[in-house]
Structure 1
Amino acid sequence: MIRPIVKDIFFLQQKAEPAAKSDLSVGQDLQDTLLANRDNCLGMAANMIGVNKRIIIVSVDFSNLVMYNPVITAKAQPYQTEESCLSLTGSRPAKRYRHITVDFFDSHWQRQSLSFKELPAQIIQHEMDHLEGRLI
């Protein structure tokens, strides 16, 4: 289901609750909503569609990857950049890392550990900031 994008700063600044296997349907809502916003967006966190759970989606290569309870386990090569967000107006500076490794549960609730670099790594870090209630 395509959901509206939340712009309520108070809601977005709340730390997300851990996701459970019963939250797998949120991944489909994130897929649908990201697809509907694909011209302006490369990733989303569940709180951006009104669900305060630790779930994100990112565009990686030619597919979208949903991550449940993602945790960055390694990061390297910090840099400064500018980012924008569907939930906010304008762009803001952000510190990111060029290389990261993320542990998460996939859509089959299997534990995964993947490494990302450059733009996919940046998108993941942005969305994971949402899970912590941090806005750029």
Structure 2
Amino acid sequence: MKMPIIAYGDPVLRKKATAIEPAEYPHIQGLVNDMFETMYGARGVGLAAPQVGLSMRLFIVDATPFGDDEPELNDFKKAFINAQILEETGEEWGFNEGCLSIPDIREDVYRKPVIRISYYDENWKHHEETFKGMAARIIQHEYDHIEGKLFTDKLSPLRKRLIEKKLNDISRGMVDVDYKMKFPAAKKGR
């Protein structure tokens, strides 16, 4: 089931998400499947639970579209529950990032190229793994969401001021998207 994606400006995107327990979510696989369906419907490569209005430490990634550049990403599809980044290493590199909650805005963001992360998958199996390159970048972007951060937080103050009107327009629903969204500052009846 496709869910609406929460737009920039909603407080859920700024709240540090809470850890979840298996007993609380016995049907987590259904939510993970719904999130993948939602993400694919919006043509994304990652989606965090806060982006669908759920303040929980869950995000999904599918880096397969980057498989031509990094063959190890072919079929790279994972769910991350209660993730904790343990280490970020290497020299930061820039990449033009976007976000399903902030449509029509893309900016160069600098991130470390290698991460070590602890997480549970949708079967509640624990993993501690190292990821690099584009996989690390996508994971870091989604991890920021469960920490209450957005990629726009990494921009310079000048760059933030230059896109402020666009961000406010997104919050009010003044953006053209072909997927369902919820806009926090939209006037009723729009």
Fold conserved (TM > 0.5)?
A: yes
1:75-129 residue CA offsets vs partner (Å, 9 max, x unmatched): 2112233311010131234231111111101111011112111111100000011
Alignment of 1:51-130 (within 5 A): 51-60=54-63, 61-77=74-90, 78-89=92-103, 90-130=105-145
Instruction: From the CA coordinates, give the structure whose radius of gyration is larger.
Output: 2
| Distance (whole Å) between structure 2 residues aligned to residue 121 and residue 101 of structure 1 | 9
Misfit runs of 4+, over 2 Å: 78-82, 92-95
Query: Can you give the 5+ residue segments of structure 1 that lack an aligned partner in the other structure?
Result: none
Aligned-partner Cα distance in 1 for 2:59–2:89 = 21
CA RMSD of aligned residues (A): 1.6
Deviations 1:45-80 (A, max 9, x none): 011111110001011431420010111112211223
Secondary structure at the counterpart of residue 5 of structure 2: coil
Greater helix fraction, Structure 1 or Structure 2: 2
Name the CA distance, whole Å, in 1 between partners of 2:122 and 2:135.
19
Q: Which has the higher strand share?
A: 1
Contact 2:89/2:114, CA 8 A, preserved across alignment: yes
* Number of residue pairs aligned between Structure 1 and Structure 2: 134
SS at match of 1:126: helix
Over the matched positions of the two proteins, sequence identity in percent amounts to 29
The question of whether the paired residues in 2 share the 8 Å contact of 1:98 and 1:118 is answered with yes
Amino acid at match of 2:33: Q
Cα separation, 1, equivalents of 2:40 and 2:99: 15
Amino acid at match of 1:129: D
Under a length normalisation based on structure 1, what TM-score does the superposition of the two structures give?
0.89
Partner Cα separation in structure 2 for residue 93 and residue 4 of structure 1: 26
Provide the C-alpha distance between the structure 2 equivalents of 1:94 and 1:18, rounded to a whole number of angstroms. Answer: 27
Residues 26 and 46 in structure 1, CA contact (< 8 A), matched pair in contact too: no
**Structure 2 gaps, min length 5:** 64-73, 152-190
